[in-house]
Structure 1
C-alpha cells in the first residue's frame, strides 16, 4: 500500500512538470473559440501588422552651392582730375555732382605765357625752315657746303621740337574729362594757384559698378570667372542685386589667405554708390532639377547613408549618395529618382522588408 502511494506521488510530479514546461505551448495551440470549440491559435510573430509611418513621393527642386563673403562697391572707372603743369585757375567749366561727357573741358589755367611761347616757337620755325630751304638749294647747285645744310636742318628740327613742347604746355592748361561719368566735389576756386598733381575734382563712372570681395583660399578650387553673385546692401534692406564675376586675382593675399574676386553689378538707375558695404553670396553651382528628400528620411550607418523606399507596401532599405542641403532637404545624387515613394519619418523603427502603411499624407 505504501509502495503504491509513493508511485502515485511520483507520477503526479512528472505530469505537473510537463504542464509547467509545455503549458504555454499547449494553451497556444488549443484555445477555446467563441462557439465553445477549440481552434488552433496563430503562433506569435507569424502575422506581421503594417507599421504606421509617414510616406511621401520624392520631388525635385533647385539647389545651389554658395559661399558668403563681404566686400565693397567700386566705380567702374574712377579718376581724380589733377593738372600736369603749374598755373593759376582762370576758369572752372563744370558743375559739381553733375554728369559729364568724355572730352568735355573742366578747368582752364592762365595760358598767357604758354601761348606766347607757342607764338615764339612758330616764328623760329618759320625762319629755320626758310634757312634750310636756301641751304638745300645752294647745296643742290654746288654753291653751298654740306655742313651748312646739316646745320640748317638741325636748327629746323630743334625749332619744330620747341614748337611741339610749347603747344603741349598750352594744351595742358585745359583739363578735360577722360570718360563719361559724374563729377565729384571740386577742391579749387577761380584764382587759385595750383601745382602739378594737386586735386581738382574726382570723376566716377557708375553706369555699372564693380564689387571687390574675398574668398578663403580653401575655396580656390571651386571659384571661376563667370559665376553669379547676389549682393545685399545695408542701405537697401530686403533688396538683392545680381552680378557676375569677371576677374580673379591670380595671387593669394598672404595677409588674409584669401582670393580676391571682382564682379560687375548693373546700375542703370545710378542708385547704388561706390564705397557701399556689400554682403556677397557667390553662387558656385546651381542645379534647378535636383532630386530632393527630407533630412528626416536619412538613416546614417557608418560612412553610408540609407533611406527606405516603399515598394508594394514594403520598406526596402536603399543606399544613397547625397549632395547639397537646403532648408531641411537633402539632394540625392544616386539611389532615388523623382516619383519614388519613401518613408519620410519613422524610418528608425523599421527593418528591411517590413510592411508599412501611411500614417498621414505628406503636407497634411
Structure 2
C-alpha cells in the first residue's frame, strides 16, 4: 500500500511540474512555484483525510502584460454601436438622365460651324453650332439648354444633317446616377430611401447617399433590376462610365452593448470573448445578436464598460488550447 501511494504521488508531482513549466514559459515562474507548492499542500491535506477540492471558474490564459504587449494583444471597452447589415452590389456611374441634352437640328441642312469639343464646359444659352437650312438657305444657331459639359460631338463643318441626327451630347455632371444590378435573391431587401455607401473602382473615393429608385421591371438578359442613387458630384470626382461598389444598408440597429468582430471566438463549443483578469485573460461565454463588418451586438454575458480583448484574441485561444494539449 505504501509503494502504491508513493508511485501515485510521483506521477502527480510530475504532472504538476509539467504545468509549472508551461507557466514558466509564459514568463510566470513565480506563479509556477506557488502552483507546485499549492499542489503539494493539497496532496498533504488529502492524505490527512481532507476531501479534494474541485476546480471551479473559467480557465485563465496566464499571459503577462509584457507578453501581451509583445504579441500586440489589445483591449477595448464594451459599449454601444450601430450594427449595420450591408448588402454589397456592383454597378456603374452614369450621367444624370434628367440633366442631359441631345442636340439635334431644327431643320435639315449643312453644318456651318461647331463651337465646342468633347470635354468643353458650356453655359445655358451659349452657341454650340450653326446650320444653314437646306430649305430657306438661312443660317440658324443652336444653343445649350443647360449648363454642362460636352460628352460627344458627332459632326464637323460641312456635314449634311437631318432633324433626326444627334449632333452633340451635353450633360450637367454636377450630379450623377449610380446604377447597380439587383438580382432576384436580393430584390426583397432593397427599397427606396435606404442609405448607401459608395466606393469607386480604385477604392479611393467614398460617398454616402440613398437609393432613389428601384425599377419596376427587370432586364431579361441579366435577370436583374436596376437600383439607382443620385450623387452630388460638384467636385467631378465621379466619372461616368467607371465601375462602382455600393454597400446598401438594409438594416441599421443601435446596439446598447457591442464588441468588434475580431473579439468573438469559439471555445469548447461556446461563443466567448476574452476579458482582462488578474493573472492574464479569461474566457467569458456570451450571447450575440446582430453582427456587421464593424460590430457584434452582445445580448448577454458582458456589461457596458467591461474591458475585452479586441485584437489578436485568437492568440489567447491558442494558448488555452495548447495548455489543454499539454495536460493530456
Q: Which moved more, 1:194-203 or 1:47-56?
A: 47-56
CA shift in 2, pair 1:39/1:220, >3 Å: closer
Gaps of 5+ in 2: 10-40, 63-74, 277-281, 321-328
Query: Counterpart of 1:192?
Result: 159
Question: What is the aligned counterpart of 2:51 among 43, 47, 56?
Answer: 43
Is residue 84–residue 197 contact of structure 1 (8 Å, CA) maintained in 2? no
SS in 1 for 2:185: helix
> Of residues 168, 178, 195 in structure 2, which corresponds to 1:228?
195
Picking from 60, 66, 88, the partner of 1:52 is 60
SS in structure 1 opposite 2:173? strand
**1:25-62 Cα shifts (integer Å, max 9, x gaps):** xxx9xxxx9xxxx9834212357587425898634444
Could you say what secondary structure the match of 2:239 adopts? coil
Instruction: Write out aligned runs for 1:71-110 (5 A).
Output: 71-76=91-96, 77-110=99-132
CA distance in 2, matches of 1:47, 1:187: 85
Q: Are residue 181 (structure 1) and residue 148 (structure 2) matched? A: yes
Deviations 1:188-246 (A, max 9, x none): 23332212222311102100111100123222232222222232223x55332333221
- SS for the counterpart of 1:218 is helix
CA distance in 1, matches of 2:222, 2:48: 79
Counterparts of 1:12-27 in structure 2, within 5 Å, are none
Q: 2:246 aligns with which of 280, 284, 293?
A: 280
Query: 2:205 corresponds to which residue?
Result: 239
Cα RMSD for the two superposed structures = 4.3
Task: Tell me which of the two structures has the higher relative contact order, counting C-alpha pairs closer than 8 angstroms and 6 or more residues apart.
Answer: 1
- Structure having the higher Rg: 1
Shift of 1:309: 9.8
**CA 1:233/1:47 → structure 2, altered by over 3 Å: closer, same or farther?**
closer
1:290–1:73 distance in 2 versus 1, CA, 3 Å: farther
TM-score (norm 1): 0.56
Decide whether aligned partners of structure 1 residues 280 and 56 sit closer, same or farther in structure 2, where only a CA change above 3 A counts: closer
1:204 aligns with 2:180: no
Q: Provide, for residues 157-194 of structure 1, a one-character-per-residue CA deviation record: whole Å limited to 9, x for no partner.
A: xxxxxxxxxxxxx9xx5323232211234332333221
Q: 2:29 maps to what in 1?
A: none
In structure 2, how many angstroms separate the alpha carbons of the residues matched to 1:184 and 1:265? 19
Secondary structure of the 1:206 match is: coil
Indicate yes or no: 2:90 matched with 1:70: yes
Give distance in 2, aligned partners of 1:49 and 1:92: 85
Cα separation, 2, equivalents of 1:109 and 1:333: 73
Aligned to 1:247, the other structure's residue is in SS state strand
Q: Tell me the secondary structure at the aligned position of residue 332 of structure 1.
A: strand
Q: Which has the higher mean CA deviation after the structures are superposed, 42-51 or 337-346? A: 337-346
Q: Deviations over 1:245-285 (max 9, x none)?
A: 21111224444343311011221122332111212222223
Matched, 1:216 2:183: yes
Q: Deviation at 1:70? A: 1.4
Give the secondary structure class of the aligned counterpart of 1:88: strand
The aligned length equals 257
Q: Which runs of 5+ in 1 are unaligned?
A: 1-18, 117-169, 350-364
